[in-house]
């Protein structure tokens, strides 16, 4: 029994039925599933917004999907979803509502927290961001010396970096190419150094992004950026206002730093860091792509929000993708999940999803405070697929691990490519389709022999296949499609956390390292005797000091 009185997840009849079904299916072969059902290639598909989803290459039958949906019903996934949309405080360990869906709500929508409609605040900030972005883009907003802003440097980390940095890459073809936009996150001084070394400070705007405005990496980099700027401009504190803006929930800390709170763009404690790039945290992105494109992106998010909120279980795509992950993680012992985009512009997409998924669902304690007895979130990994093919796909094809993967691709290359480069798109996508085919169906020993391969190499050249993949295909990579993709994964992560009975919206696991770093620092700088250092760390600190000649 859970502490909240519910039956333990892995003792529910729905879980037991799935475990039994898994046993009965045994080593079900995709070749057999396709042979038995000629309609599978078109039948096991779904559509949400512009996203065509093919889940035919999964180790599932209609019965598997039915049983998985029963698990979702038994764990009341839709009940928790509705509580989220109603603004209830479902982030129980922090006693907060979870309302990233309000960030993209229509202007006339009503989403209440503690009886107050938050949508007008959301749109007030969006309008303020749009006004500011337009002034920077038009050259009306100038630096301290009167020069036009040509460079935007976003300083933030985690959710205050990964989202806007990812989306900037994704939407590069929609950006103002006369602006240089960079993202600094690492407290390694090399990051800020490389981002600023060729910039004219007089033309540079720093966007300091931090929900709490206490994150040590961000505040350290922001302080160094301020020193650099004032040094370069040979100016005093009065130069800060034209070159620094803040994105935060913490007005007090922003003012303490010396940024005019008139130049602060606000968001709220009901927005989690990893769910925040469609809030004020997206300001650098908005400056790069313009307010209209940013709003198109929000429209895309909203399409999938509405789908998740209203579609029945049978056709609810985030629910389906989440259930497939549960099928492999909990009933096939898969440890990881690969996300493999066939788009250069999505090069940072998987890194973004790592925080979204792993910081949300990397938990072993349930919402009821008890340790779970079942696997929770997977290791999420991957890079653009074409490059991966020449690196780690060997292990996916012929290794000993089951790695379910999402393949994301687009029918059209981006419009601004030359005709010659556009012609390469079919080759890119031929790889995309070929890989999921090879992963699913492999190559039998007889097929290998038929190619005249010598007997001693037949085993080596045999592909067992049966590697499950989801294909996500859209016409083109637009701001709206990006919003749709991100919302799809947000809600997938949500539904999995709901089934596993964990709080997907806190992140206590990152705290210990932060506290220890603060304690260790004086040992490095001053050789202070830090009590409680273990023998290994103490010896490493001594070695570090020796290497630094201290
Ligand atoms: O935006 P900030 O308050 O600076 O937080 C930045 C990041 O740091 C924290 O350590 C959390 O793990 C992340 O969830 C968060 O996105």
Q: What share of the chain is helix, strand, coil (3-state, %, to 5)?
A: 55, 10, 35
Confirm or reject: Cβ of 218 under 6 Å from ligand 1.
yes
Question: What average pLDDT score do residues 11-17 get?
Answer: 98
Q: Is 359 in the pocket of ligand 1 (CB under 6 A)?
A: yes
pLDDT of 538 strictly over 90? yes
Check: CB of residue 358 under 8 Å from CB of residue 380: yes
User: Ligand 1, closest atom to CA 212?
Assistant: 3
Nearest Cα neighbor of 125 from 278, 342, 296, 341 is 278
Q: Left if phi > 0, otherwise alpha if psi is -120 to 50, otherwise beta: which for 104?
A: alpha
Residue among 156, 159, 187, 213 to mutate when testing ligand 1 (max atoms within 8 A of CB) = 159
Write a three-state SS string for 489-533.
HHHHHHHHHHHHCCCCCCCHHHHHHHHHHHHHHHHHHCCCCCCCC
**Gap from CA of 214 to ligand 1 centroid (Å):** 9
Question: For residue 483, which of 491, 134, 344 has the smallest C-alpha distance?
Answer: 491
Tokens 């009849």 sit at which residue?
13
Instruction: Tell me the catalytic residues.
Output: 359, 390, 514
Q: How many CB atoms lie within 10 A of CB 122?
A: 25
In DSSP notation, 60-118 reads --HHHHHHHHHHHHHTTHHHHHHHHHTT---BTTTTB---GGGGG--TT---EETTEE-
What are the pLDDT digits (tens) for 222-262? 999 999 999 999 999 999 999 999 999 999 999 999 999 99
- Top pLDDT among 385 and 133 is at 133
Tens digits of per-residue pLDDT, 337-363? 999 999 999 999 999 999 999 999 999
pLDDT band at 548 (very low <50, low <70, confident <90, very high): very high
160 lines ligand 1 (CB under 6 A): yes
β-bridge pairing 405-410 and 336-341: parallel
CA-based nearest residue to 155, from 294, 289, 257, 275: 257
- pLDDT tens by residue, 268-321: 999 999 999 999 999 999 999 999 999 999 999 999 999 999 999 999 999 999
For the beta carbon of residue 220, count every other beta carbon within 10 angstroms: 14
Which residue, by CA, sits nearest to atom 12 of ligand 1?
510
Are 430 and 494 in contact by the 8 Å Cβ rule? The answer is no
Return the ∠ at Cα 217 (arms to 216 and 223), rounded to 5°.
85
**Of 96, 155, 160, 166, best ligand 1 pocket probe by most atoms within 8 Å of the beta carbon:** 160
DSSP category for residue 244: E
**Angle at CA 90, nearest 5°, toward 66 and 354?**
70
Give the ipTM.
0.98
pLDDT of residue 514: 87
Has residue 387 got a pLDDT over 80?
yes
Mean pLDDT of the chain: 97
pTM given for the model: 0.97
Ligand 1 within 6 A of CB of 216? no
User: Whose CA is closest to 15, among 79, 76, 74?
Assistant: 74
Ligand 1 nearest atom to the CA of residue 507, by list position: 12
């Amino acid at each position: 029994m859970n502490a909240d009185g519910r039956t333990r997840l892995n003792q529910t009849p729905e879980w037991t039925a799935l475990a039994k079904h898994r046993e009965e299916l045994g080593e079900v072969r995709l070749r057999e599933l396709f042979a038995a059902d000629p309609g599978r290639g078109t039948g096991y598909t779904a559509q949400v917004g512009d996203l065509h989803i093919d889940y035919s290459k999964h180790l599932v039958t209609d019965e598997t999907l039915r049983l998985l949906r029963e698990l979702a019903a038994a764990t009341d996934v839709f009940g928790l979803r509705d509580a989220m949309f109603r603004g209830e405080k479902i982030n129980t360990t922090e006693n907060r509502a979870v309302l990233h869906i309000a960030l993209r709500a229509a202007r006339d929508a009503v989403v209440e927290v503690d009886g107050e409609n938050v949508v007008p605040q959301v749109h007030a900030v969006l309008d303020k961001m749009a006004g500011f972005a337009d002034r920077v883009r038009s050259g009306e907003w100038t630096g301290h010396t009167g020069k036009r802003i040509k460079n935007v440097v976003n300083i933030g980390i985690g959710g205050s970096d990964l989202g806007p940095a990812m989306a900037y890459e994704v939407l590069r073809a929609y950006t103002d190419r006369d602006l240089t936009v960079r993202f600094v996150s690492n407290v390694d001084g090399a990051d800020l150094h490389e981002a600023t070394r060729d910039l004219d400070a007089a033309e540079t705007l720093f966007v300091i992004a931090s929900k709490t405005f206490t994150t040590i990496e961000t505040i350290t980099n922001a302080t160094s950026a301020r020193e650099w700027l004032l040094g370069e401009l040979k100016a005093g504190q009065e130069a800060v206002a034209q070159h620094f803006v803040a994105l935060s929930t913490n007005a007090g800390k922003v003012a303490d730093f010396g940024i005019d709170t008139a130049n602060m763009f606000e968001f709220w404690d009901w927005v989690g860091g990893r769910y925040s790039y469609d809030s004020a945290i997206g300001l650098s992105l908005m400056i790069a792509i313009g307010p209209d494109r940013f709003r198109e992106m929000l429209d895309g998010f909203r399409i999938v929000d509405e789908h998740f909120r209203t579609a029945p279980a049978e056709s609810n795509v985030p629910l389906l993708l989440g259930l497939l992950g549960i099928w492999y993680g909990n009933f096939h012992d898969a440890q990881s999940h690969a996300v493999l985009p066939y788009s250069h512009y999505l090069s940072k997409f998987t890194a973004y999803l790592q925080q979204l998924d792993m910081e949300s669902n990397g938990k072993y304690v349930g919402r009821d405070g008890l340790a779970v007895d079942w696997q929770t979130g997977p290791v999420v990994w991957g890079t653009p697929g074409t490059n991966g093919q020449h690196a780690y796909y060997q292990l996916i094809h012929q290794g000993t691990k089951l790695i379910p993967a999402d393949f994301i691709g687009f029918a059209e290359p981006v419009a601004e490519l030359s005709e010659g480069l556009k012609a390469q798109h079919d080759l890119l996508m031929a790889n995309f389709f070929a890989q999921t085919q090879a992963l699913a169906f492999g190559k039998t020993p007889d097929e290998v022999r038929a190619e005249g391969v010598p007997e001693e190499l037949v085993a080596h050249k045999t592909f067992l296949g049966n590697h499950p993949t989801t294909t996500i295909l859209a016409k083109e990579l637009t701001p709206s499609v990006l919003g749709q993709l991100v919302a799809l994964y947000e809600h997938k992560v949500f539904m999995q956390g709901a089934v596993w009975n964990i709080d997907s919206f806190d992140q206590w696991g990152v705290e210990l390292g932060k506290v220890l770093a603060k304690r260790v620092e004086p040992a490095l700088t001053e050789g202070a005797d830090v009590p409680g250092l273990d023998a290994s760390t103490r010896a490493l600190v001594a070695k570090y000091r020796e290497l630094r000649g201290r």
